[in-house]
Amino acid sequence: MADETLQASPLPEVARISLADLSLALRRGAADFRRAPAFGIFFSGFYVLVGLGLWWVGASTFVWSLALSLGFPLVAPFAAVGLYEVSRRLEAGLPLVWSEVLGVVAQERKRQLPWLGAILVIVFLFWSFLAHMIFALFMGLSTMTNISSSYEVLLTPNGLSMIAVEVLIGGAAAFFVFAITVVGMPLLLDREVDFVTAMLQSIRAVRENFAVMLVWAGVIAGCLFLGMLPWFLGLFVALPVLGHATWHIYRRVLPDAD
């Protein structure tokens, strides 16, 4: 991995990938998890704690749980750098030493990753505010009802419209975060580039491979949804595999990033 004292790295060119590359990345991601399960479980623990925290903040109500669940992918990339580093080391044949891997993660605070993290926080806060506004716009004039025990209010025209709008806007926000991080985050770990350049390169990679990346976003969303159902425990498997696979997708999209 590049050190913070090095000069800026040249920008690698974006390559075209196919659905076969996604399948290959998933297989390699699963293989990385099998080779280093302890690291995968450790880093995925962050996601589980965040998921439980969002569920608790949502006060177990359908509306806020829906809104915060849609916002979950906005904070998910924070711990991904550890999974990327594990895959990078496995790929390079480097030893997996806890102190070294955690040291790389800690070192990222002095590089560009915190700036990208700040963008994600802003997006998440904006989405949280917007979710409250959507609720107020659609349900603010309705008869006061305890939604946590009276789910029938969600089956009204206003309730169904509110759910549809939250799903659409939340999905758009999540896809924006996906677009700036799917290549941007591993690029920041792997090379010396600023966070704006990394985000733009990530967006370019998504644009050049839009259909394939849309499928990959759907795979991530589906796996996150299924992993969150059994008290978020499925994330202990889904997230390490997805995190490792994302590294391998990055290596396929930017093949010159060596």
Which has more pLDDT, 230 or 95? 95
Quick: pLDDT tens for 96-105: 999 999 888 8
Mean pLDDT, the chain, as a whole number?
81
Q: Identity (one letter) of the amino acid at 165?
A: V
For residue 46, what are the contacts with CB-CB under 8 A and spacing of at least 6? 78, 79
5 within a domain of the structure (yes/no): no
pTM: 0.79
pLDDT band at 203 (very low <50, low <70, confident <90, very high): very high
Quick: pLDDT tens for 14-62: 999 999 999 999 999 999 999 999 999 998 887 777 667 766 665 455 5
What was the pLDDT predicted at 135?
Answer: 80
What was the pLDDT predicted at 26?
Answer: 96
14 within a domain of the structure (yes/no): no
Q: Which domain holds residue 36?
A: 19-253
38 within a domain of the structure (yes/no): yes
What was the pLDDT predicted at 70?
Answer: 53
What was the pLDDT predicted at 90?
Answer: 96
8 within a domain of the structure (yes/no): no
Separation of alpha carbons 53 and 55, rounded Å: 5
What was the pLDDT predicted at 68?
Answer: 56
Three-state secondary structure call for residue 7? coil
Mean pLDDT over 130-144 rounds to: 73
Which has more pLDDT, 134 or 143? 134
11 within a domain of the structure (yes/no): no
Separation of alpha carbons 239 and 212, rounded Å: 20
Structure tokens at 199: 């985000």
Domain count, the chain: 1
Mean pLDDT over 178-184 rounds to: 93
Q: b/e per residue, 12-32, with b = 16+ CB within 10 A? A: bebeebeeebbebbbebbbbb
What was the pLDDT predicted at 108?
Answer: 79
